């Protein structure tokens, strides 16, 4: 009996080691480029970056202009293209045959859209967490960015204690927007750990506001370029900032390749459900890349 048990244990150990070696041999490290949203910076990806790197992947998380620790000030930005320049710099710095997966949150989805148009040969798959975006960020060849922006504004919740600045005078459109603590706690981070809300209140910066005309000029998308890249929508079901009906509206007008849902997450899905989002990113990367 003991002999049979030992033989069975040995067989199990050999099988385990064989499977482990097979998994190690079949693993392929991916390069994820994580793009933050309005007012945030690369810092908001700290949980996801840790998970992906711990799994053996490469992660790049740039600060967009006047965000995070970038030295520019929001009011100095002249166009949305200038705001997105750090992401374009990342793309231009890639090796000629390097494969990357773009992941955009909130306003970062518009940054993704621009580089999908300008660098289609540099991108293998794009994972766009559109449902967790601060504003509507999945325009397309048949869905103009200004239309998406206006629809998002129409469905936006009250901004509460958030505030605008009018650097060009009170009779001109506002130039920057800053999240208020009450708005963050009730609408953006309501399901995230309190430590992450505290971090956001310490690190958030004003967002430069751009006109629909500027966005339409800088983000013009074609089926040939933008349309050649696979798109994934990750929908955060408890997101108060971008409601489910808005996400479904975008999906109807600009269908992606796949829609995945995260339950029990607020707008900051990378903060409130990092394990779930990390698993989705790795699973979809394996599926599509």
Q: Which residues are catalytic?
A: 106, 239, 267
Which H/E stretch holds residue 195?
A: helix 194-203
The secondary structure of the chain in percent helix, strand, coil, rounded to multiples of 5, reads 50, 15, 35
Instruction: With CA atoms as reference, report the closest residue to 212 among 271, 153, 141.
Output: 153
Asked whether the CA dihedral 175, 200, 126, 69 is positive or negative, the reply is positive
Contacts of 105 (CB under 8 A, 6+ apart): 34, 35, 36, 37, 40, 44, 129, 132, 133, 269, 270
Q: Are 140 and 254 in contact (CB under 8 A)?
A: yes
């Amino acid at each position: 009996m003991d002999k049979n048990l030992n033989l069975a244990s040995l067989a199990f150990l050999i099988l385990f080691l064989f499977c482990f070696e097979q998994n190690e041999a079949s693993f392929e490290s991916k390069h994820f480029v994580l793009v933050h949203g309005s007012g945030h910076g690369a810092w908001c990806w700290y949980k996801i970056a840790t998970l992906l790197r711990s799994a053996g992947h490469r992660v790049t998380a740039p600060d967009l202009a006047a965000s995070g620790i970038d030295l520019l000030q929001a009011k100095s930005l002249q166009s949305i293209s200038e705001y997105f320049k750090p992401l374009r710099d990342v793309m231009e710095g890639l090796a000629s045959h390097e494969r990357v997966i773009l992941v955009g949150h909130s306003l970062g989805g518009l940054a993704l859209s621009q580089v999908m148009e300008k660098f289609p040969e540099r991108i293998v798959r794009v994972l766009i967490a559109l449902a967790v975006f601060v504003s509507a960020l999945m325009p397309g060849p048949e869905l103009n960015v200004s239309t998406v922006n206006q629809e998002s504004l129409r469905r936006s919740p009250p901004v509460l204690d958030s505030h605008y600045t009018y650097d060009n005078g009170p009779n001109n459109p506002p130039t920057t927007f800053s999240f208020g603590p009450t708005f963050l706690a009730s609408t953006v981070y309501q399901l995230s750990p309190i430590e992450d809300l505290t971090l956001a209140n310490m690190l958030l910066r004003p967002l430069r506001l751009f006109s629909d005309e500027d966005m339409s000029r800088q983000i013009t998308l074609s089926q040939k370029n933008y349309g050649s890249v696979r798109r994934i929508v990750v929908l955060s079901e408890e997101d108060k900032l971008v409601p489910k009906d808005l996400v479904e509206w975008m999906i109807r007008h600009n269908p992606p390749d796949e829609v995945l849902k995260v339950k029990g997450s607020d707008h900051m899905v990378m903060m409130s459900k990092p394990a779930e989002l990390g698993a989705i990113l790795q699973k979809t990367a394996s599926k599509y890349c």
